[in-house]
Amino acid sequence: MRSVALLTSSFWLLLFISSCHNNEPCTTCPPSGPDTTSHSFNFTQYTFGGTGGSSNFNDVAILADTLVIAVGEVYLTDSTGQVDDQPYSIAKWNGTAWSLERLYDLQNNLIPNVRGVLALSASDIWLADGGVYHWNGVFPQVDKSFDRISLIGGVENGQSINRVWGLTSKDIFGVGYAGMVAHYDGFTWTKLESGTTLDINDIWGATDPSTGEEQILGIASRLDVNEGNRLLQITRTTVTALADSGLPWSLNGIWFVPQEKYYIVGDGIYDADSATPSVWSGGANQVTTYYTTRIRANALNDILVVGAFGEVLHYNGASWKSYRSSQTALDGSYAGVAIKGNLAIAVGSSSSQAIIAMGKRNN
């Protein structure tokens, strides 16, 4: 009987294999699951400052495993133990260790607190601190791309640029406080009317395969008080509000693949199959009980989300995994995140220290 069973099993196995040859559709194969990536990140936390004043990191960019740039404000004490009132605004990873650097404008004025970074190459780096600077990645002096007060008309109105996004140095967008949106065409910065005075907390864009054009979206809200929200579609000349049914008033981060999947984070994690769904799916406490601040990804099956109290989440295409309780917990919050290949970086602050959590994935 046992030999009969083995022959029967072999027959069905051969039938199963033969029905799947030559790339023909297989009607007897079980449905394949989604492509997934590995959750196996091991995080190491690095701390900076805390002795000379309150320190923080706001944003981060990964160019390679041997070149990562985190931006913020780090205060140290000098060799005599006295507080050094000249902060460092850059932390650079060389593949082995982090080094702190100060940056100055061409008039030798210290740039104290960089809030956003866009790294197009090792020598083509854009920094936002209200205005925007262009840095070659080597020298401590940076070119001021535009002066904030000049761009907003010479009268203080609270507007400034905190985040920058672009695909080339001749097509860059900046967003920030009080509804600030600006575009750079390689020669001139132009302020765009956004239709809101809410803070625009994040911007992301990608090429839409159906049109060949960039789709660029921003999200806006005040994080400390409910004044509503805005989901904004941005072009080189216009800013348009999109429907936002199902989204909470507190929004902080956005990432998407055009015409496939859109994610927004803040008071919960939300997703949709288009930028204008009838209602956004998701909600607070569905993936994490902690507030989420930023989202970036390699692909739809390789997404990182960071947030309060050291929350770091990875979505592998099928499931979410939190690293907080075992590896990344802290008293403060992560404010920025980047992922490239098997390297993941979260940056933020805890108490008076600036924090970097570096995750390396073992496939």
Q: Phi and psi for 2 in degrees, rounded to 5?
A: -65, -40
Does the pLDDT at position 71 exceed 70?
Answer: yes
Residue count of the chain, please give it.
363
Look at residue 202 and tell me if it is in a domain. yes
Do 98 and 46 contact (CB within 8 A), yes or no? yes
Look at residue 10 and tell me if it is in a domain. no
Look at residue 211 and tell me if it is in a domain. yes
Q: Phi and psi for 7 in degrees, rounded to 5?
A: -65, -40
**Which of 142 and 10 is assigned the larger pLDDT?**
142
The separation between CA 243 and the C-alpha centre of its own chain, rounded to angstroms, equals: 23
Q: How many domains does the chain have?
A: 1
Look at residue 278 and tell me if it is in a domain. yes
Local confidence band at 33 (pLDDT 50, 70, 90 cut-offs): low
Q: What is the pLDDT of residue 34?
A: 66
Q: What is the pLDDT of residue 7?
A: 37
Look at residue 11 and tell me if it is in a domain. no
Say which CATH number the domain at 130 has. Answer: 2.130.10.10
What is the average pLDDT across 185-207? 96
Q: Phi and psi for 15 in degrees, rounded to 5?
A: -65, -40
Does the pLDDT at position 49 exceed 80?
Answer: yes
Does the pLDDT at position 28 exceed 70?
Answer: no
Look at residue 156 and tell me if it is in a domain. yes
CA neighbor of 242 nearest in space, from 260, 229, 251 = 229
State the residue range of the domain holding 190: 41-361
Look at residue 280 and tell me if it is in a domain. yes
Does the pLDDT at position 2 exceed 80?
Answer: no
Look at residue 60 and tell me if it is in a domain. yes
